[in-house]
Amino acid sequence: MKKKNLSVKKTIHNFYFKKLDDPRIKKIYLNFKKKISIHVPNKFCVAVSGGVDSMALSFLAKCYSLENNKKVYFFIIDHKLRKNSTLEANSVKKKLKLFKISSNILTINKINKKINLQSFARNNRYKLIINQSLTKKIDMILTAHHKDDLIENFFIRLLRGSGLRGLISFSKIKSKVTLDDKIFILRPLLDMPKKDLIYLSKNTFNFYVNDPSNLDDKFLRVKVRKLISNLEKDGLTFNKFKLSLNNLSKSNNAIDYYVQKNINDNSNYLKLSNSIILNDDFLKQPDEIAFRSLSELIQKIGRKDTFARGAKVENLLKYLRSTNNYSKKTLSGCIIQKLENSVIISLEK
């Protein structure tokens, strides 16, 4: 390597590691390092929105890659939801380049304005990053979700009527993007407050993009954020919230145990025909056990990335339990047929 390149490399190393002399930044980094080291392989990628959270994550990921000789990719999403989104994405790319971070801009081209825009952007953001990850043989995507996001998502799902599994699903530091994916999302900042990430971002890159939608009351997340702020004034703390979330997680684990027991004891998978036969006891389990068991098997046979909609599974369960009508039903790519003392679930062709 040429002397000039060695000098540049040393300078950039010094920039990152010098920042760790700040006790607050060092504490954040050590927390991040502890979370990431047990999960991350030799290469991984970072989802960069340009906001204060993801810029802080970019700094931490770069530090970790330099210290541990890991390959890290940075993907910036141009979501096209605002007129200046392309300009913002390019400015983030240029800023990262100043700190020797090479990044790629991934663009969402087709916008469906008839649906929930934030949900649409989120889903397509993951699709783009997953495709890039598969190309580069990456199985770990780091996101900048933090402590505040954890509380917000709980209340958002509560307001939307999510069940127990939905309420606690965001609380895991590591989870699959979709059910059959071999790619995982890692949330190493999940126990860090946003104020720490703001401090880190301002005292390292000193750059981030402000999203005006964060102040727009028409979005549910903004309304929930204000609700949480009021609850904090009345005594809500993260420790109290986390205690409740841990208790809910224990209950969910207990249900999962009995779901798997029901599937193992009361269903028979026929590999050659890719179908499943449920015996009479399968449907006699408590409602949540039967509901989840049926959802999992329909997802397995239908080969879908996600579970069928809860309301549709609920209606199917009621039908299978209550009627003597043996007509076939279809759901999520499956044919479900009730027989005398059993049910057959097979792939719809």
Mean pLDDT by runs of 10 across the 349 residues of the chain is 54 86 96 91 91 95 94 90 86 94 86 55 78 90 92 88 85 75 88 93 91 69 86 85 91 96 96 93 96 95 86 93 84 92 92
Residues 60 and 80: their CA atoms lie apart, in Å, by 27
**Architecture of the 3-236 domain:** 3-Layer(aba) Sandwich (3.40)
Q: Please check whether residue 265 is in contact with residue 181, taking contact to mean a CB–CB distance below 8 angstroms.
A: no
Q: Please check whether residue 265 is in contact with residue 279, taking contact to mean a CB–CB distance below 8 angstroms.
A: no
Residues sharing a CB contact under 8 Å with residue 159, sequence separation 6 or more, in sequence order: 220, 224
Q: Please check whether residue 301 is in contact with residue 334, taking contact to mean a CB–CB distance below 8 angstroms.
A: yes
Q: Please check whether residue 121 is in contact with residue 79, taking contact to mean a CB–CB distance below 8 angstroms.
A: yes
- pLDDT value at residue 214: 64
3-state secondary structure 88-123: HHHHHHHHHHHCCCCEEEEECCCCCCCCCHHHHHHH
Please name which of 208, 239, 189 lies closest in space to residue 46, comparing C-alpha atoms. 189
Sheet of 267-270: strand order equals 267-270, 275-279, 342-347, 334-338, 329-331
Q: Please check whether residue 76 is in contact with residue 26, taking contact to mean a CB–CB distance below 8 angstroms.
A: no
Query: What amino acid is encoded at 44 in this protein?
Result: F
**Two tokens, residue 71:** 């390959």
Local structure of residue 51 (DSSP, 8 states): S
**Two tokens, residue 144:** 């900048």
| Alpha helix segments (H runs only) across the chain | 3-19, 23-37, 52-68, 85-98, 117-135, 147-159, 164-168, 194-202, 220-233, 238-266, 287-302, 310-322
* pTM greater than 0.85: no
> What values do phi and psi take at 112, rounded to 5?
-95, 100
- pLDDT value at residue 123: 67
Rounded to 10°, the helix 3-19/52-68 angle is 120
Region(s) of the chain under CATH 3.40.50.620: 3-236
Residues 245 and 307: their CA atoms lie apart, in Å, by 23
CA 324 to centroid of chain Cα atoms: 41
Query: What amino acid is encoded at 88 in this protein?
Result: E
Residues sharing a CB contact under 8 Å with residue 97, sequence separation 6 or more, in sequence order: 103
